Structure 1
Amino acid sequence: MLQWLMSAVGLGPPPPPSGGPLTRETAGELVRWYVRSQGAVLSPGLNAQGFGGIAAGGSQVYFEYHEEQRALECSALVYKFSEPPKPGVLEGFQAEAREGTDAGGGEVDYERENRGLYLSRTYTVVPEGKAFARDMKRLGAASVVWGDEVLDRVASRVFHPEELEKR
């Protein structure tokens, strides 16, 4: 919000113009603008490999630019598994999403290489800056709820279904 306010009064760079194709350059500008709006004033946005991230509001949001799809993937961490998830756990999270649990505009996304469970959304067109900031705030807030309440609910369903039947 601070970066948006500063750019609105001419004290900081604005976000890239919305509506155009999402190139690596515009994705980097968008992420740089966003993370600076959250107080990370020295952030490059995306690094040379196309990755970036920020911890804000109790959440961790990661950014990855996919060159082939010309897309920016934004992922808010829900949970890091120390080993591959037990059978039924990922399905339990997917069931929560199907049942309408607010995912902050994202989808359940498990990344095997880092054993991370995320709520992710992807952009292929440059979004308007304020809308992107709102989207990231919503995605991050949802990931905090999923990491707390939804994680407990899924664990109960998968590992202790008999407890739910007693209620």
Structure 2
Amino acid sequence: MELRVLNYFLTVAREENFTHALQILHIIQPTLSRQLMQLEDELGTALFIRGKRKVLLTEAGMILKRRAEEILELSQKAQLEIQHQIDEVYGEIVLACGVTEATKTMGKYMKEFQKIYPHVTFRVRSGNSDLIVESVDRGIVDIGVILAPVILDKFDSLQLPNNERWGFL
């Protein structure tokens, strides 16, 4: 599986239309069709349900879409880290957290961090504790802020000083 072909696949999946994808990718239709058919052959399954005007993903296509986004994101992250490793600190930190009191605290930490390292950007994601732990484990997320109880044996962790308040409506 090539990164270029995964990018073609994702563009078609996002646009849900081959013509729009061709305009974005600046390639010709036979090239796109051939690459996607080879990808389907390589995986041994159909990835698209082709309609007259719209292209939908099969169940296998939905799985590949999620993984392809992660693969391309990790590839871009690695490329940035390698290109900017010279003198200054560059890059992107991916932070994942649920909507909690700690979100305010993390915003303050991020602001202070960027004063010291102005070439570092943050991307913030949200999710539940299990999804965040899985994303940190796979390297998709750099820092996860989660609510206990979660098993954190294989991670470096610290407890934030915030107290969460919960209620029912």
Settle same-fold status: TM greater than 0.5: no
More helix by percentage: 2
Q: TM-score, normalised by structure 1?
A: 0.22
More strand by percentage: 1
Q: TM-score, normalised by structure 2?
A: 0.22
Q: Which protein shows a greater Rg?
A: 2
